[in-house]
Each structure stands twice: as C-alpha cells, then as structure tokens.
Amino acid sequence: MKVFNFIKTIAKESKILVHLYGCFIGIIFLFSPISASKILYRISTGKKLDLENPKGFNEKLMWLKHNWRDPVKTKCSDKLLVREFVKERGCEEILNEIYAVYDNIDEIDWSKLPHQFVLKCTYGSGANIICTNKDKLDIKKAKYILKKGLKIGFLNKTAEFHGDKSTNKIICEKYIDTLQGEVPIDYKVYCFNGKPKIVLAVKDRFKGLKKMFYDTEWNCLEQYANPKVCNGNIEKPENLDLIIFYAKKLSKGFPFVRADFYSDGSRVVFGELTFTPAACLSKAHNALGDAYFGELLKLPPKSIGKYREKRIYVHNKNINN
C-alpha cells in the first residue's frame, strides 16, 4: 500500500513522471491487461480491484471493460463513426453540422475556417479546440494540441480495449451558440441497461467550472457528488425531456453508456457516447455515489469476442451532415 501511495504522490510532481507512470501502465498492459487495471484502480482509489464480485460503479465499469467487448463500442467511441450509429437509431436530426474532416493538421486551411468553430480529434478526449473568435485564436497552440491528440502511441496508458487510434482524424464542426452567447452546458446522461437515470451537468468550462448530478426529473443529487469536483446549482434545461428521450434511444442494448448532449436553448445537439468515464476511475461521485451508481448497473453475461473491427472512414474533406 505504501508503494502505491508513493507512486501516486511522485506522479503528481511533474509531467515527466506522469508520462513515465503512463508508460509503466502501458508496458504492464501488453503482458497483462487485468494487472494494469488493478494497478490503476489501486493507485487511484486505494482499494483492491475485485473483478470476481464487483460492487461499486467504477469497479463494475472495470469488469465491463474486460468482460463485455463489442465492435459497436469501438465504432461509437469514434466521434466521426458514431454519427452513423446515431443515424441508424433514427436520431439524425440531433447531429451537429460538420464543416470538414482532416487526416492531419497540415490539411487545415485556417483562413477558410468560419469565425467560430470547434476542432476535435475523433478518438480520445482533451484534444478539443473551441474557438469563439478566430481573430484571437492561438493557432500555434491549437496545432500542438491537435498534433498531440493525433499521435499514435504504442503503449496503452489507460488500459482500455474499445478505442482504435490507428485511423484518428480531425473534424471541424459548427460552434453551438446559445441564447446567452456562452459555451453550451454539457448534459452527460448516465444510462443503465438502456434506461437514463442520472445526469451530470457541466457548465462554464473556461470560467469557474461547475458540475452537479441530477436525476431525470432534475432533482439535485448532491449527496452522491464529490465536493472536490462538483459544486454549484445548474439550471434545468427547457428541453430536458428531449435529452432523456434521445439518451434512451441511443443507449438501448448497452449495459452502460454515458450519452452526452448540448442544448442551444431549444434544440438538442448530440455530443458523444462514453463507455468508460475517466477510464473507469471517475472522481466526480463520492463513495456513496459509487455504491448507488453501482447498484443501478446490472452486469450482463461475459461477452469477450472480437473487440476491433475493420473500419471504413469518410475521406471527403468537406461534408455537410
């Protein structure tokens, strides 16, 4: 236990140590994916991962990661290919407009981009550029973030199976403008066996970030929230019923998926589908929340199978749907 605490402490001290820690997990994953997950879980939570009798939410997500694999998860984890899935579920109307798709940053003609836009890598998280004023955009910094997001690493530092970074791309999509002229609130709907149960609302990402859990009637679930991560009340969206409606349609057939949406005040806009929030190590909820969310998640029979599939990407540089 002291060893894990020591690793956790030093890993916070520098980016180099964080990188080395990730490499260490990636090497372990090559030989034993389960061992890599156990180390990640122990260092993050201080607890031993029990994959034989999982109880908490994060622990059950770890079980799903190793024991319920489906090619559809791979497709839906890609921010471009998931659009095909959304259309198949009869929800095409909530897809955001895409201006262009790029294989690399050199293909981007910054002069032709609109005044407001969003650039994001189709795989992973964190490599997003939200531009509200192109005149003030730091293009050099944006290129660095996107290039890093496209980089294919040999080591799997998060010990996850369903992602496929080998055909990662950059998409440029329409900036969702709200009536208040602010970055839209992110509504992350936790769906358990096809039933929306919990909503994590995220507001003001770039100025005083606010997060809070709610049920589908918008009753605050502060008792399940980690006060170090979640704080403040967030107003109920006028179209909450539509958000829940689409979450239910898109989550059907999955033991667990988090369906993310935005709203411009009237229209619901699809964000993405997430199967392993924070790599199954989410700290947004507290211990009570971990237990409660865990009770909501009923695990299916094991289904290993093939978890990668051949994927055909759209190569058109400009698409409108």
Whether residue 312 contacts residue 252, with contact meaning beta carbons closer than 8 Å, is answered with: no
User: Which of 123, 126, 119, 103 lies closest to 164, judged by CA?
Assistant: 123
Secondary structure letter of residue 16 according to DSSP: H
| CATH level 2 (architecture), domain 71-296 | 2-Layer Sandwich (3.30)
Give the burial class of 199: count Cβ atoms within 10 A of its Cβ; 0-12 exposed, 13-18 middle, 19 or more buried: buried
Strand order in the sheet with 195-203: 210-215, 195-203, 186-192, 256-263, 268-274
User: How distant, in Å, are the alpha carbons of 39, 110, 285, 294, 312 from that of 53?
Assistant: 17, 52, 21, 12, 38
Separation of alpha carbons 191 and 246, rounded Å = 11
Structure tokens at 319: 């698409």
Secondary structure letter of residue 225 according to DSSP: B
Backbone torsions φ then ψ of 98, nearest 5 degrees: -105, 130
- Position 230 pLDDT exceeds 90: yes
**Confidence band, pLDDT 50/70/90 cuts, at residue 303:** confident
Read off the pLDDT of residues 96-110 as tens digits, 9 standing for 90 and up: 999 999 999 999 999
- Position 136 pLDDT exceeds 50: yes
Read off the pLDDT of residues 71-88 as tens digits, 9 standing for 90 and up: 888 889 889 999 999 999
- Sorted by where each begins, the domain ranges of the chain are 2-63, 71-296
Separation of alpha carbons 230 and 197, rounded Å = 18
CB atoms within 10 A of CB 221: 18
Q: Quick one: which H or E segment has residue 34?
A: helix 33-45
Question: Quick one: pLDDT at residue 164?
Answer: 56
pLDDT higher at 3 or 158? 158
Structure tokens at 74: 């791979």
Give the contacts of 190 (CB within 8 A, at least 6 positions apart): 196, 197, 198, 199, 200, 256, 258, 293, 296
**Confidence band, pLDDT 50/70/90 cuts, at residue 207:** confident
Mean pLDDT within 160-175? 77
Residue 186: strand pairing partners: 202
Residue-averaged pLDDT of the chain: 84
Whole-prediction pTM value?
Answer: 0.86
CB atoms within 10 A of CB 32: 12
218 CA to centre of own chain:
22
Mean pLDDT within 167-186? 83
